[in-house]
Structure 1
Amino acid sequence: MATGAAASGALTTAGCGTGPGTQSSALKVVAADYGDPGRGTSSQGYWDALVGDFQERHPGAEIDVEVHSWKDVDKNVARMAAEGNPPDIAQIGAYADFAAKDMLYRAGEVLSIPVQADFLPALAEAGEVRRVQYGMPFAASTRLLFYNKTLFKKAGLDPAEPPRTWNQLASAAARLKDAGVKIPYGLPLGPEEAPAEAMMWILSSGGAYTDRVGDYTVDARANIKAFDWLRERLVRSGLTNPNPGRTDRQQLFDAFVRGDVGMLNGHPTLLKEARARGVDYGTAVPPGADGPSPGTLGVADWVMAFKHNGRGEEAGRFLDFVFSERNHYAFAERYDLLPVTTSANDRMRERAERKPLRRFQEELSSAEFYPVGKVSWATVSADIKRSIGRAVEADGDPARVLSAIQRRAEAAETAAQES
């Protein structure tokens, strides 16, 4: 069980099955936590209320929801699956390895046609393995550069002119440091955010994790260039948080809303936190090597239905309810995330109070996503979480670190193809 995660949805005490043909009466769901249990914002509250509404409409239905922290949920579901005891539904970060092992229902086998057709096309396509959709997008986000306008003014920087290039970013960070700002640029390369932060810098250099035919390119020249620049111009110059490779995203989000961070890349959830704390902030397209970044990172989290217990019909009935416009919009609104369905996206655009999210919504249609359709991606992503931070250490060698990740990624892909 993940540290800090709720033990269960407290709606039923039944667990999931212990083997083929041995199952409880409850539909077992494992989901990731988008909130903070310590602050009373855990996703457990959302799921509890949702299940309560579902049971009112379907008397006798039993749904057992466990919410795990993002640090642990993927590995916990992988362990359950390896032990022959997967949940009926999992809401995690990757699906392709389970699909390749024929452990999942196809989306069309569980969802009604109107619900499946409502997914945004780019996200539905990202949920495919060999042109068949197994991954159902659950929530999405894009990334923008956040900057503290108050700290910019303190450093003599124009808050209406955020940095557009790497050099401008380094210059602004140096001015912020001279003005006494604790963390001029927040760089989270710890396990929580490493694949995303790394990909943003790779995209800003014109690179990618994979090429057009899907082969890994982790150690491409553009990628190494980005990490060489990060190490030399930001980390070694003392313009970031100490030990970026051991710093998680939430630590820096918390520091940003305290007024301790001048700039960092952030997703829509930070909007809510910043507004709640009265931070005067701005957003901009992340800087690139020679101008605004040519690529925007999009991140989607995924729902999948496991075949192990033969609960496809029950899973589909519940997932249709989860993805209904009202319920899906309620989740996206609660955590300032981007909806993954056309109906909920349209609803968000119509709400004047959601105007700060529109820039993120606009970025979603052209965003670059992780190569989640690759069976090996879960393994490679875990390796990036463990290893990429070493590239910016004082004695780090970006070319060596990225080349090592590349070799392991190629080996993982070969193993996945052979299995």
Structure 2
Amino acid sequence: MQTITHFINGRQDKGAADRTQPVFNPATGQAEKEVILATVGDVDEAVAAARAAFPEWSKTPPLRRARILDRFKMMIWDRMDELAAAVTAEHGKTFDDAKGEVTRALEVVEFATGAPTFLKSEFSENVGTGVDSFNVRQALGVVAGITPFNFPAMVPMWMFPVALACGNTFVLKPSERDPSASLLIADWLKEAGLPDGVFNVVQGDKVAVDALLEHPNVKAISFVGSTPIAKYIYTTGTANGKRVQALGGAKNHMVIMPDADMDMAANALMGAAYGSAGERCMAVSVAVPVGEATADALIGKLKPMIEKLKVGPGMDADSEMGPLVTRAHLDKVRSYIDAGVSQGATLVVDGRDYKVDKQGYEEGFFLGASLFDNVTSDMSIYRDEIFGPVLSVVRRDSYQDAVDLIHGHQYANGTAIFTRDGDTARAFQQDIEVGMVGVNV
């Protein structure tokens, strides 16, 4: 069985190797690899390597740093299929979804290659008598990223390319559920010319997370994951004097107005709700049709489309949705469907008994797409972030009712509206108190 290690000071490193965890292929349900879980000592070693590399790296001209990242970018373009296949093998998402993830990741790397421009400082002459003012942008030092399972290539690349471009050194703690992508990234950065110690990877669980949060030489932490853990990361990190950015959970609503193009809305919902098996923070998990006729028309469009959705192994070209990441997560999502039924929602399409009739995949973590109607705001399938292929339809009588529903939810990551009316579209983007707004007319 392949063992996935840490990457410290320019090489793969087993560290203490006194604890391991199985890594599953979600399509087969079999443990095909194991990952070493870091000790506090392993984290100390990674941080020490990053700290030792910092003085030289921070003094490296931004243009040279950008050239290394540019070589890294081109390597990913050339080897995109290899990285995407590694993501699919451990996460389960379809190969096309995985390639889309890598493409999005590359956009950040490409942005980071612009460091020579965005690191330019400002100069103000004569701010006072005989006084000029200028600023100098200086790197923080060792920074760390703690990333989730759902985008093992993209989310780390939200973080480290810009950190490296700005002269920081980096320690990545990826998800232990799908860790292989992190080693590919580390190997390719080294091949692109990144000096040893500038980028390090520690595999692990809460032991590694706490060690990073408490380490005096880690200056900043970036995190993406669930809201309870995000709060813990923020509270613990800031208590230890670190800069912290922590992105938590989401429950994204799509409003469908009576004048909307129903085919357009239904097609968009299929991708937004069931792409990557719903395991993404920007998944639309709540459809809000305005008016009973709108709701009935939407359900009529969605039901046959969902029933035809092809669920299967991510590497199969005809699969439109892959398995969930682990058996435990599969059971959790299934329990939410059970709860929706018991709490009185109408289960229009039931994905719980979906079977993949292909040899070798009988034990995979597969779940069909599910659709609920007549969901109310007090139900757990509405309140909680399910993180699976479950779409809830919450009917509302008016535009204002829909806006109030969205504002009443604890999570507000993104939202969208479908309408043919320009005034309604404009009002929505002004009225809504959500970070990201999609307008479809």
TM-score, normalisation: structure 2: 0.30
Greater RCO structure (CA 8 Å; 6+ sep): 1
TM-score, normalisation: structure 1: 0.31
